[in-house]
Amino acid sequence: MNKLYLWGIIITAIMLGATYYTVVLTKGGLNGDIVNMLAVAGAVALVIITVFVVIKYVRQMQTDTATGELADESWDDIGEYKNPVPFGWAIMFLGTMIWGMWYFVAGYPVNAYSQIGEYNEEVAAHDAKFEKEYANITGDRLVEMGESVFLAECKVCHGINADGIDGKAANLNVRLEAKTIKDVIEHGSNNQLLGMEMPMPDRNGLFNNNTGAPITDAEIEKVSNYVANGMSGEGADIFAGTCAACHGSDGMGMEYVAPSIAAFNNTLITNVLTHGKKGAIGTMPAFDRLNAKQKEAVAAYITSLSAK
Our CB check for ligand HEC shows the closer of 145 and 287 to be 287
Our CB check for ligand HEC shows the closer of 145 and 272 to be 272
Residue nearest to ligand HEC (CB): 279
Residues that bind ligand HEC (CB under 6 A): 153-154, 156-158, 169-170, 175-176, 180-181, 184-185, 189-194, 198-201, 206, 215, 223, 227, 242-243, 245-247, 258-259, 261, 269, 272-273, 277, 279-285, 287, 298, 302
Our CB check for ligand HEC shows the closer of 47 and 270 to be 270
C-alpha–C-alpha distance, residues 39 and 35, integer Å: 6
C-alpha–C-alpha distance, residues 253 and 247, integer Å: 4
* Shortest Å distance, C-beta 210 to ligand HEC: 13
* Shortest Å distance, C-beta 253 to ligand HEC: 8
Rg, Å, the chain Cα set: 42
Our CB check for ligand HEC shows the closer of 50 and 249 to be 249
Residue closest to 259 by CA, chosen among 233, 279, 282: 279
C-alpha–C-alpha distance, residues 32 and 35, integer Å: 9
* Shortest Å distance, C-beta 124 to ligand HEC: 23
Our CB check for ligand HEC shows the closer of 143 and 169 to be 169
**Which of 187-201 are b and which e, b meaning 16 or more Cβ less than 10 Å from the residue's Cβ?**
eebebbbbeeebebe
* Shortest Å distance, C-beta 160 to ligand HEC: 13
Give me the half-sphere count of Cα atoms (radius 13 Å) on the Cβ side of residue 273: 24
Distances (CA, A) of 182 to 76, 218, 223: 88, 11, 9
* Shortest Å distance, C-beta 170 to ligand HEC: 4
